[in-house]
Structure 1
Amino acid sequence: MKNIRKKALFIIDNVFYKGAFLKEELEILKKSDISKRDYNLVVNITKGVVQNRTLLDYIIKEHSKVKFKKIHKIILTILEMGIYQIFFLDRVPEYSIINESVKLANIFGNRGSAGYVNGLLRNLYRKKDELLESKFGLMDLYEEDKSLFLSIYYSHPKYYVDMFLKDKGTEFTEDLLKANNMEPPFTIRVNTLLISREDLRQILDEKGYKSQDTTMSKFGIVIENPEGIFESEEFKKGYFYVQDEASILVSEFLNPEENSKVLDLCSAPGGKTSSLSMIMGSSGEIVACDISKSKISLIKENIARLGIKNIIPTINDAEIYNDDFKDRFDYLLLDAPCSGLGLYRKKPEIKWNRSYEDIQALSKIQKKMLKNASKYLKPGGEMIYSTCTLTKEENEDVVYNFLRENNEFSLEKINGEEILKLYPSKDSTDGFSIAKLKRRTNGIK
């Protein structure tokens, strides 16, 4: 075993029960002396279990002789890992999966745990083909309760499934749920202050990277085989920043003119801020704010690598009105703190650590931030309100509520949409919502 599955067990336990982030846990592991092969196995198991938690638990509930609530959390995680490997990993022999699961149960369980794990996993392995063909016995549920079927089979919170079924229908919703469980493309944004997209692609291609231009952003490159990219000279020289295409587009839609004054209210880690600077040719002034000193340090670190000179990192709380900013800026970006439901592909643990109540609470914060932000724009100024989530509560409700209370602002369409929505299933990007607002020069309409 070499403790490989034990490492996976600890990571999943930290994510499910101790509030850890999967990406950070895996980054820590990667810096250890673990081999590439073993690391990839841990990634596959941990991400697979976190992504498919609802389905895995449903299988356990349906086939366990022990009541689900009575299963100790460590034994439950061992079962989740074993079931995921049996049904979703082709290259690992079933006998090895079961044996290693039993070893873990012997180490962490009480008397009888190993026999219980062994019996349940062997029973599921015998029924593997039958269960896969019947979608784990869920097919009858599809007609009875489509929302519940989709929630279980694709392991998504039911409120999330209900939200899209109501607004978009079954086909769109199922496509979105599938996409949320897939690996996202690896996208970089070219730093055109130092190099063109064409020249960077040529360099990367010569080094063996397979790349293609992004379809919507004129600054992005998708890399099929990014391994080692952070150790490359091009990264160290600041030729690019790793950034999803939707995130790149936020700055493009704001499109500030050169020599403008720009405010980025929630800037860290600085990806969108540096993109704004690039669009401005590093001219003018960008005040990049965050409430956290550590995040301000991260902004400074990123802009130093990218060779950017016109960004001023500033500690500021976007929830508190700052009179020093009043009527000062030509452009403003409010990429608001949000539920992050558009990031399921990259941060699957968000499925399990966000509730509908969290969304409602965040909506109140976002409304307060947008109200403050509006006072910082000059007459004629423009701002983007964006989130990496797709809920109406955090987007349409926030924006339209603001417009009802602020007649001096108008909503500018983006690609023909009042609030542009980008979806992993349709656009191959993170889930994003983007709205553009303009302060009229002649006051209230």
Structure 2
Amino acid sequence: MTDVRVAAAGVLLAIERGDETLAAALDRVRPDVAPVDRGLLQELATGTLRWRNELDAVIATAARRSVKSIDPDVLAVLRLGAYQLRHLTRVPTHAVVDGAVRSIKTLRRASAASFVNAVLRAIVRRGPAIALPKRPATADDVDGWTRYLTTTLSHPAWLVRRWIDRYGPEAAETWCVFNNTSPPVTVRATAGHSIDELRMALEAAGVAYRPARYVSDALELPAGTLGSLPADLVAMVRPQDEGAQLVARMAAARPGERILDLCAAPGGKTLVLADDLRCGDPGAGSRLIAADYRAGRVALLCETLSRSHRHLPVVRLDARGPLPFSDTFDAVLVDAPCSGLGTIRREPDLKWSRTAEDLPVLAEGQLRMLHAAAGTVVPGGRIVYATCSSEPEEDAEVVNRFLARDRRFSLLAPDDGRVPAMMLTERGELFTRPDRDGLEVYYAAVLVRL
């Protein structure tokens, strides 16, 4: 078995090199770590990425040198140690320092052991005396707010400047604090079980829960609960962000309709659509097709559907078109690949891997998918265009460009009460916000064909 701190350092290094995402790197190393330490592996890697800028400022002060001058493997070990010292205070400081020294030796950098020891002991010794940018006293100190949110709350400067400009510094601060917390787990019942049956099973097992805030057929469990559920309960639940469920609800799927989920993997929204269509009920007369393109994504989609006991047709399609359907579907969900900047609470590596320059490139692909989907919808049918991006280049601006080119479509504001009105823009688009709703960012627009 690999030591958990060495494994976590390997995860950070793979992400730093651009080789893997956080999720992929964790999946790769998790089997090599003792089962009892797998939760700690997740905590170390995820927490260190969340607080990376803050940790780098602390390390630079303690080391009296820029982190850019520190070798990547040494810096990874120092970041993990600094994270434990500042954010996992249940671990004794001597154990943190000793573990970091052992880790750097295991990584065949024994010559750096004394440096790692000295830096971490300086962090222990100086503690709160290490100064970080403070929260500005006034809202008009934009530069001060940028320094505070970038360093102390550990977010990229380019992104926090955008949030400050659009929502103001205090909302941006709430957003950053939200992103640095461990999320609760929202779950739905798998096919064959009702939400009431799931509720009773959780109560019988002594598992704490509360109703989801905005979706009536989901429950919220405390952060970290999922990994400790007994096997019979695991088989009854399927985790899914509440905001993602609201996106699926924007489709307003009704029994008897034909719907295409065009970028369906991993499959959570497909399952919500299946519930709303009453798929599996022969009397409903519904038809739902799930599609994705890359082989790995299609396999993940099939696995999700199988695990949830949903037997639906799955096809491999490139959503950028052309598509093998014409005037076929009552609704098409285009949950387009995007920057993911709205979900960095769960995927903190995206804070550091995404740049503003990525957004126009992603938007071009998203626009192509919308135009491809347009040919598959019957007159009177609808496209639901969705992302989990916080940035307008991937959201409303893509929709505006599509509507300007295809005059057959117009925006439709939902009026069936499935989505809270406070989450809808003036035009009727869904846009969830951490500072207002306590949810990750999800965007969705309904485009009806005239």
| TM-score, reference length from structure 1 | 0.89
In structure 1, what residue type is equivalent to 2:193? I
Q: Which region of structure 1 is more displaced relative to structure 2, 227-236 or 269-278?
A: 227-236
Match of 1:350 in 2: 350
The CA distance in 2 between the partners of 1:83 and 1:127, in whole Å, is 12
Q: Which region of structure 1 is more displaced relative to structure 2, 251-260 or 97-106?
A: 97-106
Among residues 260, 270, 292, which one is paired with 1:263 in the alignment?
Answer: 260
Deviation readout 1:231-251 (Å, 9 max, x if unpaired): 533543xx4422111111122
Change (3 A) 1:371 1:35: closer
The CA distance in 1 between the partners of 2:27 and 2:271, in whole Å, is 24
Q: Percent same amino acid at aligned positions? A: 28
Q: Which region of structure 1 is more displaced relative to structure 2, 299-308 or 198-207?
A: 299-308
The 5 Å alignment of 1:36-435 reads 36=36, 38-108=37-107, 113-131=112-130, 136-139=131-134, 143=141, 144-191=143-190, 193-224=191-222, 226-228=225-227, 232-236=231-235, 239-282=236-279, 283-309=285-311, 311-322=312-323, 324-414=324-414, 415=421, 416-417=424-425, 418=427, 419-435=429-445
Deviation readout 1:152-180 (Å, 9 max, x if unpaired): 11211112101110010011100000101
How far 1:317 moved relative to its partner?
0.6
In structure 1, what residue type is equivalent to 2:219? I
- Unmatched 5+ residue regions in structure 2? 280-284, 415-420
The CA distance in 1 between the partners of 2:252 and 2:337, in whole Å, is 22
The CA distance in 1 between the partners of 2:301 and 2:102, in whole Å, is 45
The CA distance in 2 between the partners of 1:55 and 1:29, in whole Å, is 26
The CA distance in 2 between the partners of 1:332 and 1:179, in whole Å, is 32
In structure 2, what residue type is equivalent to 1:212? R
The CA distance in 1 between the partners of 2:258 and 2:135, in whole Å, is 59
In structure 2, what residue type is equivalent to 1:218? S
The CA distance in 2 between the partners of 1:105 and 1:196, in whole Å, is 50
Contact 2:59 2:123 in 1 (8 A): no
SS at match of 1:438: strand
The CA distance in 2 between the partners of 1:241 and 1:179, in whole Å, is 23
How far 1:355 moved relative to its partner?
1.5
Number of matched residues?
Answer: 430
Contact 1:189 1:248 in 2 (8 A): no
- Unmatched 5+ residue regions in structure 1? 441-445
How far 1:385 moved relative to its partner?
0.8
SS at match of 1:255: coil
SS at match of 1:289: strand
Q: Which region of structure 1 is more displaced relative to structure 2, 101-110 or 421-430?
A: 101-110
How far 1:29 moved relative to its partner?
4.5
Change (3 A) 1:64 1:281: same
Q: Which region of structure 1 is more displaced relative to structure 2, 201-210 or 67-76?
A: 67-76
Cα RMSD over matched residues?
2.4
Q: Which region of structure 1 is more displaced relative to structure 2, 20-29 or 75-84?
A: 20-29
Match of 2:282 in 1: none
Deviation readout 1:413-441 (Å, 9 max, x if unpaired): 2424232211234323322111111112x
